[in-house]
Structure 1
Amino acid sequence: MKTILITGGAGFIGSNFAHYIYEKYPDYRILVLDALTYAGSVENLPVDICKEFDNGRFQFWNGNVLNAELVGTLVAESDYIVHFAAESHVTRSIYDNKLFFETDVLGTQAIANAVCKYQDKVERFIHISTSEVYGTAESGAMDEEHPLNPMSPYAAAKAGADRLVYSYWSTYNIPAVIIRPFNNYGARQHLEKVIPRFVTSVILDEKLRVHGDGQSSRDFIHTDDTCRAIDMALHAPQDKVVGEVFNVGSGQHRSILSIAQDITSIMCTDKQCWVHVGNRPGQVMRHTCDYGKIKDVLGWEPCVDWDEGLKRVIRWYSENEEWWRKMLWMRGIPIITAEGKKELH
């Protein structure tokens, strides 16, 4: 029986991956470590931990990746580590940046140190980075050689963690792989993120808040596709992936305004349901993924097309109002815009 440690496994992408592994690999033992900050919940886990802390296959540990002793104990038991744990919201990082550097950089250092200590046991360490490390696209599509130009405290913290993991591979030869997902969407995503915020705004008969003119664009990838990519990197031959960086995205960018239009065309076709607010400080104008490397090396390609994925998300939030109602107060974050105006973003 292989043991896999998933840090941040009660958050959005981490919990989707925990569900994926739990369902696909019935012979795997799963350890989830999560601090249960505002963005994580035990409701997201694949088992009810109120009924069973340890069912032989699944254990949940409520703890922080900064706790090196706990991290070391869990890593010592693990064959695979997938490290999602991070503060992950651009807007929130603008007014609370210290927490981002503590969790994202120092937390990653704690994990990497433990992997280094127990690398005779650890077969693969997957670090989940982000496309935000690139900043605004300097080319039509961004491959892994695109310069790192982080434009927000969140992006800078993730860039630091990304390069820290690379340095540990280079220095200590740990079995590390870096995944840079582009913007993910899917079930169980916090309402601070744009797609669930838009969807729930329509459900609540509110106007959708679109930053600036809405022309900033992102590459959106469904979490199902991201989980498949991580799985493939986790189980690929070592000589194909260790020490490598892989982008994971759809290869298509969509403006925030077009996303608002797509959602409202499905949910409230009789009216314009959005309003424009000031642009977010540190705004990235465009991300478009070049996923050619992971396609060539592992044969991965996205399978969930945008229309189908968006309908799935709308259906999930429409059917799970009890899950998201409790976080309504966290959908909007007050910030000072580039123009000096205080706005709710």
Structure 2
Amino acid sequence: MKLLVTGGAGFIGSNFVHHVVEHTDHRVTVLDKLTYAGNRASLAGLPEDRVAFVRGDIADAAVVDSLVADADAVVHYAAESHNDNSLHDPRPFLDTNIIGTYTLLEAVRRHGVRFHHISTDEVYGDLELDDPERFTESTPYNPSSPYSSTKAGSDLLVRAWVRSFGVQATISNCSNNYGPYQHVEKFIPRQITNVIRGIRPKLYGAGLNVRDWIHADDHSSAVLTILEKGRIGETYLIGADGEKDNKTVVELILTLMGQDPDAYEHVTDRAGHDLRYAIDSSKLREELGWMPKYGDFEAGLRATIDWYREHEDWWAPSKDGVEAFYAEKGQ
């Protein structure tokens, strides 16, 4: 197949492109705006006869139309995705997550192209820390930030285009990703690179907020499985049973990096910080036969630490700016 991957120079998008090249014979065109979160270096070393790159905006209908017309399927990763940034300036989240998704949907409708939409478990809001339940495909949407609300809106657009116009689309909502090529503003790489730089890691509030962690390579394999086997119009939740509170994650990072597990600082909590996310991925596993490779969070985290140690040239250029931004906020 010829795949158009939007946001393919970003974190999970670039991991997906690497996964496709390694595990299939598909050819890939990456469409990426190269905002601060996109990095051409994340695609370095991939074969030029398999991977093409186009710099452009998913909200630019002319650019999108020509690329979709030449594709067999679109895998839509491109999104503004950082909660802190959405609280600071919500407008880019509307432009990319809503208008950008609409533009892609209109293009795949015109050309009859298969569409897979990448979303987040944050559209469901959060769970109480002691709640035995987990998110399922039938959990009502209850987003709590400009980021998650615009992702929820984009999901609903996809559902409407399937029902109203017969677009051949599927949706996946995934839990928190970690792994190579993740921007250092994000929780896990920020703490890893802090330790590498000799800076004490930072923990929001008491660190009791729980996230359901999944390695980006497992997310990639799940998306490829849905693209190949998923039922049109269906939503699949992707998770690896990796529930950990932030305090545990920071302490594990410190331990794996040979530091005192208490060598971190508590900082001002994020406004509206969701308490707990938890994914029930039974539908994906039972219907499509998918299983995660990194069922052991510690093993995945160790591999991620090794990657950041070996690729300081990739993350160092943005590190100082990120820390200066958070320092102004007392975080």
Normalised-by-shorter TM-score class:
over 0.9
Q: Out of 109, 128, 136, which is 2:118 matched to?
A: 128
Q: Which residue of 2 aligns with 1:182?
A: 175
Q: In the alignment, is the contact (CA less than 8 A) between 1:93 and 1:153 conserved in 2? A: yes
Q: Out of 264, 275, 278, which is 1:288 matched to?
A: 278
Q: Out of 40, 43, 62, which is 1:42 matched to?
A: 40
Q: In the alignment, is the contact (CA less than 8 A) between 1:141 and 1:251 conserved in 2? A: no
Question: Offset of 1:57 from its aligned partner?
Answer: 2.6
Match of 2:27, as an amino acid?
A: R
Structure 2 residue 267 is the aligned partner of structure 1 residue 277: yes
Q: Secondary structure at the match of 2:280?
A: coil
Identity over aligned pairs, percent? 39
Q: Which residue of 1 aligns with 2:91?
A: 98
Q: Out of 58, 66, 70, which is 1:65 matched to?
A: 58
Residues 95-123 of structure 1: CA distance to partner in whole angstroms, max 9, x if unpaired?
Answer: 0110011001100000000011111xx2x
CA distance in 2, matches of 1:223, 1:98: 27
Q: Which residue of 2 aligns with 1:339?
A: none
Q: Name the stretch that deviates more: 325-334 or 130-139.
A: 325-334
Q: Secondary structure at the match of 1:262?
A: helix
Question: Offset of 1:331 from its aligned partner?
Answer: 2.7
Q: Which residue of 2 aligns with 1:226?
A: 219
Q: Can you give the 5+ residue segments of structure 1 that lack an aligned partner in the other structure?
A: 337-341
Question: Offset of 1:130 from its aligned partner?
Answer: 0.5
CA distance in 1, matches of 2:83, 2:261: 30
Match of 2:318, as an amino acid?
A: M
Compute the TM-score of the two structures, normalised by the length of structure 1. Answer: 0.91
CA distance in 1, matches of 2:162, 2:324: 37
Question: Offset of 1:24 from its aligned partner?
Answer: 1.7
Question: Offset of 1:303 from its aligned partner?
Answer: 2.0
Compute the TM-score of the two structures, normalised by the length of structure 2. Answer: 0.95
Q: Can you give the 5+ residue segments of structure 2 that lack an aligned partner in the other structure?
A: none
**Superposition map of 1:207-286 within 5 A:** 207-236=200-229, 240-270=230-260, 272-286=262-276
CA distance in 1, matches of 2:15, 2:44: 9
Q: Secondary structure at the match of 1:4?
A: strand
Q: In the alignment, is the contact (CA less than 8 A) between 2:16 and 2:220 conserved in 1? A: yes
CA distance in 2, matches of 1:241, 1:104: 24
Q: Secondary structure at the match of 2:329?
A: strand
Q: In the alignment, is the contact (CA less than 8 A) between 2:251 and 2:261 conserved in 1? A: no
CA distance in 1, matches of 2:93, 2:289: 34
Q: Secondary structure at the match of 1:231?
A: helix
Question: Offset of 1:295 from its aligned partner?
Answer: 1.1
**Superposition map of 1:18-29 within 5 A:** 18-26=17-25, 28-29=26-27
Match of 1:313, as an amino acid?
A: T
CA distance in 2, matches of 1:173, 1:267: 51
**Superposition map of 1:323-334 within 5 A:** 323-332=314-323, 334=325
RMSD: 1.7
Structure 2 residue 304 is the aligned partner of structure 1 residue 318: no
Residues 207-230 of structure 1: CA distance to partner in whole angstroms, max 9, x if unpaired?
Answer: 111001100110000011111100
CA distance in 2, matches of 1:143, 1:276: 32
Q: In the alignment, is the contact (CA less than 8 A) between 1:94 and 1:335 conserved in 2? A: no
Q: In the alignment, is the contact (CA less than 8 A) between 1:95 and 1:335 conserved in 2? A: no
Q: In the alignment, is the contact (CA less than 8 A) between 1:129 and 1:179 conserved in 2? A: yes
